[in-house]
Amino acid sequence: SAFDVYDVSVLIIILVLTLGFLTKGRLWGKSPSPEEMYNNIGTSEEEAEGNIIKTMEETDKTMVIFFGSQTGTAEDYANRLAKEATARFGLPAMVADLEEYDLSNLNELPSDKFVAFVMATYGEGEPTDNAELFFNFITDEDVTFANEQSADESPLSNLKYAIFGLGNNTYEHYNHCSRLVNKALLALGATRVGPAGEGDEGAGTMEEDYLAWKEELWTAATAEFNLKEKEYVYQPALELTELDDVSDDSVYHGEPNKNHLLHNTASQSLGAHSAHNPFPAKIVATKELFNAKDRSCIHVDIDLTGSNLTYVTGDHAAVWAPNNETEVERLLMVLGLLDKKSTAYTLKAIDPTAKVPFPVPTTYEDTVRYYLEINGPCSRQFLSTLLGFAPTPEAKKEAFRLSSDKDVFQEEISSQYLNIAQTLLLCSNGQPWDKIPFTIMIETLPRLQPRYYSISSSSQVDKKKFSITAVVESIRVPGRKEPLKGVATNYIKKLKHLMSNTVDSDKFMVDYQHEGPRGYLVDKSSDTLKMLVHIRRSNFKLPTDPTKPVIMIGPGTGVAPFRGFVHERATQARNGTPVGPMILFFGSRHPEQDFLYQEEWSEIGEQLGDKFKLVTAFSRVGNDKIYVQHKLVEYGELVSKYIDEGANFYVCGDASHMARDVSHALATIIAKYKGISEFEAEEVVKSLRVQNRYQEDVW
Ligand code: FAD
C-alpha cells in the first residue's frame, strides 16, 4: 500500500517534531527561558475580568474614568478628573485601570452613567500596555458586545462618554490612540459629551490643554446630566492614621514593595525582578563624558548579576531615584511636618474604589523622599484647591491671584519652573501651610516614577552588564536663584561623585539619601554602591541579518543605543561573522566639549575598517550651525544606496525637532536619488516605517 507502517511512523515523528518546533516546546511542557519570560513583561496574557457595571452599582458610582497610562501622567489626570467630579459637582466618580476591566459589556451600561477615557498614545502610535486589550477590542471592525442583538447597528447608543488624549505633536501619530477610540465609539452609536480633548506634550501645553478641555467638558456635562456646581470641599478618599507603637520592621522606609521590606528586615530573597520589583544592581563604574564647565553627561556601567534580569541591545533601562534632600526638607517644612517627619502612619481607603498608592505603613519623610513626585511643575488647578488651607488671608489672596489667571500663572510660576512647595512658599512669604491635610498631597501628587534610559551597551558583549549615558539636567532659569535639578540625573551625578571621591565644582549640587532604605543600596563588604533598576523591552533592534547596512542618526545622548549597536557588530566581526556597513551620524555642540565616546569610535573604526563610518555635525564650530540632518543630506548618495541594499534606518534622541527634520531630510534624499516627487518620497519613508526599517527611539 502507499502508506506502510514505516511511512506512517516517519510521518508521525515529523508531525510531532514540527508541532514541538511551532509551539517552541510548550507542548511537552518546557519551561520558558529567561528570555521568553522577560519578553512577556508588561503584556498580560490573562483577560481582564472586572465588571464595571457591577463595581459602579456596588460602590454607588455615577462616573467612571478609565485611564490608559504608561508613565503615570494619564492616570494622574484621570484621578484629578474624578476628584473634581466629586468635589465640584457631587458626582460620585471612580478611576479605573483599563487593564482591569472587561469592557465587552459597555453596551449594557445604564444611560445615567458617565464614562470618561483618558488615554495616552505611546511610542509610534501604540496604545499604552494597560490599554492594549481595550484598544484592540473597541477598534476591531467586528467588535461584538455581550448579549448584542445581531441587528443592532448602534450597540453603544446608551453610552455617554468623554475623552481626553495625551500625545506629542512631534510624533507622526499624534494622539493616534484617543482619536481611534473616539472614532470607534462614535461609529458604535455612543454620544460624546464635550469636545474630544487632546493634550500636547510636544508643545509643552499638556496642562493647559487639559484645563481648557475639562472646563468645556463640565459645561456640556452640566447640561447633559443636570449637574449643580457646589462650593469646593476637600473630601478625602484616604484616611491617615499615625501609629505610635508600630514595630520598625514593618515600616516601609522607601522600599518599593514587600519583597524589599522583608529582604531588608529579615534577609529574605527579593524574588523575580520586573517593572514592579526593581533590582538593587551594583554600579561597576561611572565616568564623566563631557569636558565642559557647567554641563555634565555621565556614563554608568551596571551589573545585573544576581537577578533574573536580562536585556537585548536596544532595550531601555529604568532608574529608580529618590527625591533630593533639599526638596524633601522644603516640602516637609511647608507642610509643618519637620518635627514629626519620622512618625509612621498608615492609610486606609475610605472609598472602596480608591487605591492606596504606595506601601504602608511608612513615614512622612519616606513618603516625600521615595514615593511622591514632588519636584514636578506646580499645577494651577492644584494650587486653587489649596486656597482653603492658606495660613493667612494674604497668602490666600496671592494664591488666588496666581491660580485664577492662566497667563499670570505662566509668567510667575510655570516659567520659573516652580514646584508645589516653592509655589506655596512664594504665596505665603515663606510661612508654612500647615493646615493642608497630608492626604491631599498623597491623592494629588503622582507617584514618583522611574526614569528610562536607552541602554548604551551590547548584550552580546556582556549579557549581565549594561550601561547608560545620561545628560545631567540642570536648567538655569532667568530670575531663579538655583537651577532646576532633574531628579534621576542628579542622583546619578551624586553616585558618580561618591564613587570617584571627587569634590564637585558645581555649587548648586544637590544631596540625596543614596544609601537607600535601611542602607541596602550600599554593599558594605565590597564598598560598592547600588541603584534600583529594571529593564524594559523595546522594538528598537538591529536587523536579524548582520550583513544588512545600518544607518544611525544619534545626536547628543541619542547616540546611546548606537554605541550598543556598533559594539555588537564589532564583536560579531571579531568572531568571524560577516557584517554589513554601518554609518553613524553624531551631532553635538563642540568636538572638544561634548563629543561622546570619541575615542571608542576611532578604536571601532580600526577594527571594522570600511564597515563603519562616523559622520559628525557640530553646531558651535564656525559660523554655520550644522546639525545631523544637514550631514545626512550631504551623504545622500550613500544613504540612498544603503536603503536600496535593504538598510535599516534608526533615529534616536530629541523628539522635539530633530526626529521630524531627519524624516524630512530622508524624504529629500529619496526624492533626489530616485527621481521622484517629495510627496512620493514621503510615502516611501512611510512604507519604510511600516516595514519596521525606519525605527525611532525618541524622548
Ligand atoms: P526630571 O526631574 O524628570 O525633569 C525632566 C524635565 O522635566 C526637566 O528638564 C524640565 O523640563 C521638566 N521639569 C521638571 N521639573 C519641573 C518643574 N518644576 N517645572 C517645570 N518643568 C519641570 N536621557 C538621557 O540622558 N539618555 C538617554 O539615553 C535617554 N533615553 C531615554 C529613553 C526613553 C525611552 C525615554 C522615555 C527617555 C530617555 N531619556 C534619556 C530621558 C530620561 O528618561 C529623563 O527624562 C531625563 O534623564 C531627565 O530625568 P530627570 O529625572 O533628571 O529630570
Give the atom of ligand 1 at the shortest distance from the alpha carbon of 488.
Answer: 51
User: Where are the domain boundaries for CATH 3.40.50.360 in the chain?
Assistant: 52-225
Q: What pLDDT is attached to residue 432?
A: 98
- Which ligand 1 atom is nearest residue 491's CA? 52
**pLDDT of 549-594, one tens digit each?**
999 999 999 999 999 999 999 999 999 999 999 999 999 999 999 9
Mutate to test the pocket of ligand 1, among 315, 324, 472, 484 (most ligand atoms within 8 A of CB): 484
- Starting at the edge strand that comes first in sequence, how are the strands of the sheet with 238-243 ordered? 238-243, 344-349, 362-363
Out of 60-69, 154-163, 166-175, 516-525, pick the least confident: 166-175
Q: What is the dihedral of CA 545, 547, 552, 556, to 10 degrees?
A: 90
Instruction: Using pLDDT thresholds of 50, 70 and 90, give the confidence band for residue 286.
Output: very high
Coil, strand or helix at 501: coil
Give which of 492, 512, 456 is closest to 286, Cα–Cα.
492
State the pLDDT confidence band at 657, using cuts at 50, 70 and 90. confident
3-class DSSP assignment, residue 413: coil
Q: Residue range 127-147: average pLDDT?
A: 94
CA 583 to CA 576: how far, in whole Å?
A: 20
Nearest-CA residue for ligand 1 atom 45 is 451
Q: What angle do CA 568, 573, 574 make, to 5 degrees?
A: 100
What average pLDDT score do residues 659-666 get?
94
Residues 6 or more apart in contact with residue 425 via CB below 8 angstroms: 330, 334, 431
Q: Which among 95, 93, 43 is positioned nearest to 74, based on CA atoms?
A: 95
Averaged pLDDT, 677-689: 95
Taking Cα atoms as reference points, which of 522, 535, 523, 532 lies closest to residue 457? Answer: 535
CB 567 within 8 A of CB 457: yes
Report d(CA 176, CA 68) in Å as an integer: 13
Mean pLDDT across 414-426: 97
Q: Which residues of 263-278 are buried (b: 16+ CB within 10 A; e: fewer)?
A: bbbeeeebeebbeebb
The percentage of the chain sitting over the pLDDT mark of 90, rounded to a whole number, equals: 83
259 close to 268: Cβ distance less than 8 angstroms: yes
Q: Over the chain, what is the mean pLDDT?
A: 91
pLDDT score of 39 more than 80? no
Residues lining ligand 1, judged by CB closer than 6 Å?
316, 375-377, 417, 419, 451-454, 469-471, 473, 475, 484, 486-489, 557, 560, 699
Q: Based on C-alpha coordinates, what's the Rg of the chain?
A: 27
Ligand 1 mean position, distance from CA 28 (Å): 46
- Whether 501 has a pLDDT exceeding 80, the answer reads no
Question: The dihedral of CA 652, 655, 658, 661: what is its sign?
Answer: positive
Residues of the chain with CATH 3.40.50.80: 550-698
pLDDT at 504: 65
Q: Which pLDDT score is estimated for 622? A: 87
Considering the chain, what percentage of its residues have pLDDT values greater than 70?
93
Q: Give 225-245 pLDDT, tens digit per residue.
A: 999 998 878 889 999 999 999
Residue from 415, 453, 540, 652 to probe ligand 1 pocket by mutation (most atoms less than 8 Å from CB)? 453
- pLDDT band at 44; cut points 50, 70, 90: very low
| 313 pLDDT above the threshold of 90 | yes
Residue with C-alpha cell 550631514? 631
Q: What is the distance between the alpha carbons of residues 652 and 640, in angstroms, rounded to a whole number?
A: 20
CATH ID of 550-698, from 3.90.1150.10, 3.40.50.80, 1.10.10.10, 3.30.365.10 = 3.40.50.80
Helix axes of 678-690 and 658-674: crossing angle, nearest 10 degrees: 120
pLDDT at 151 over 80: no
Please report the pLDDT score of residue 6 as a whole number.
53
Of 161 and 46, the structure prediction assigns the larger pLDDT to 161
Is the confidence at residue 442, as pLDDT, over 90? yes
What is the structure's pLDDT at 30? 34
Q: Whose CA is nearest to atom 6 of ligand 1?
A: 486
C-alpha cell at 346: 498608615
CA distance 336 to 432: 6
For residues 338 and 331, give the distance between their C-alpha atoms in angstroms, rounded to a whole number: 9
The residue nearest atom 18 of ligand 1, judged by CA position, is 377
- CA angle (516, 521, 522) in 5-degree steps: 120
Ligand 1 centroid to residue 112 C-alpha, Å: 42
Which residues are known catalytic residues? 454, 652, 697, 699
Tally helices (H) and strands (E) across the chain. 22, 23
- In what side-by-side order are the strands of the sheet with 550-553? 612-618, 582-588, 550-553, 648-653, 694-698
If DSSP states are collapsed to H, E and C, what string results for 166-222?
EECCCCCCCCHHHHHHHHHHHHCCCEEEEEEEEEECCCCCHHHHHHHHHHHHHHHHH
Angle, alpha carbons 239-245-354 (nearest 5°): 20
Q: 52-225 adopts what CATH topology?
A: Rossmann fold (3.40.50)
pLDDT for 42: 37
